[in-house]
Amino acid sequence: MTALVVRARPGRALDIEAFCAVTRLHPDLVRRLVALGLLEADVDAAGRYVLTARAVARAGRIERLRRDLGITYTATGIVLDLLDRIDDLERLLRARPATGEVHPWT
C-alpha cells in the first residue's frame, strides 16, 4: 500500500474535484460526509463545495477509522469529537507549567 503525502497551505481552499484527487475519495462520498457533518465545506457562487486543506487530514482520519476499526460513518462523528477533545486536553496539559505534582492515578 502506498501513502499519499499532501502539503497544503492551511488557509488554502480546494474545490471538490481537487479535494477528491488528493484524498482519493469519490465525490458522492465527500458530499455524504459533508451532509453527515463530518466534513465542513463552504459553497461557492456556482453552488459547488469548497473544502479547506485541513479537511484533507480529517477525511484521512475518517477513512482510517472506517477501514481499521470498522466504524460506520454515522458513528465516526462521535469518535472524532472524542479524539478532538483528547487533543485539546493534551494541548492544555502540555501548556501548563510543571509543578512537580504527582497525581494519584499515575
- The model's pTM is 0.73
Residue 4, pLDDT above cutoff 50: no
Q: What average pLDDT does the segment 75-97 reach?
A: 92
Tell me what percent of the residues of the chain surpass a pLDDT of 90: 66
Beta bridge partners of residue 52, listed in sequence order = 13
The domains of the chain are located at 13-95
The sign of the dihedral angle between the CA atoms of 9, 11, 12, 16 is positive
Please report which residue ranges of the chain form alpha helices under DSSP H.
16-23, 27-35, 53-69, 73-95
Q: What average pLDDT does the segment 50-78 reach?
A: 93
Q: Assign domain 13-95 one CATH number from 3.20.20.70, 2.60.120.10, 1.10.1660.10, 3.20.20.10.
A: 1.10.1660.10
Per-residue pLDDT at 96: 81
